[in-house]
Amino acid sequence: MSDAGVEILERDVAYQGFFRIDRYRLRHRLYAGGWSGVLTREVFERGRTVGVLLYDPERDAVVLVEQFRLPAHLAGFSGWQVEIVAGIVDRDGEAEAAVALREAQEEAGLAIAGALVPVHRYMPSPGGSSEIIDLFCGRVDARGAGGIHGLAAEHEDIKVVVLAYREAMQRLKSDAIQNGPTVLALHWLAANRARLRRLWRPAP
């Protein structure tokens, strides 16, 4: 059904803190014809996010990061989540690829070589959040990768985790990876690894 079949009747900010929640009154067209009744819905305004899976084709390794996530802790998972590098688009006009390059340096201390490979653009929770994630894969040299990174001003405490491809897949299969974008990125890598290694083969 076309988005022309939506009428936003009212919108106000229900909460403004570290994030924002907006409240809407709306109605939409029905499959059977006519209009729905007036609905009230809250939307978590998460904004635009960029994630990048850092892969070293020569060493067949992925570079991930581990950091504390309060929602994971509250949900009964480990509060320290192993994830791909990610960040929010927080500058006007900033391209998603530029965010990926910046976050790779800030969170993992690594420079991405060459062009990023687009993976997916998707909404992780369209029933409750406006968040859009642009997911990429970037080529890195994992030699010497490690340490603690992040911006002190943002209280970031981020540990670099380098995993051989087979170990990363084992963690994925055993549900040790619990972060949605990371699960998606690793499944994508499993399906595209051979192509990436051909694409990123060292020059003779």
Active-site annotation, residues? 154
Q: Which of 72, 146, 135 is nearest to 99 (CA)?
A: 135
Q: Which of 100, 97, 109 is nearest to 51 (CA)?
A: 100
Residues whose CB falls within 8 Å of the CB of residue 73, separated by 6 or more in sequence, listed in order: 79
Query: What residues pair up with 148 in beta bridges, in sequence order?
Result: 159
- DSSP one-letter code for 11: E
Query: What residues pair up with 37 in beta bridges, in sequence order?
Result: none
| Rounded CA separation 102/89 (Å) | 11
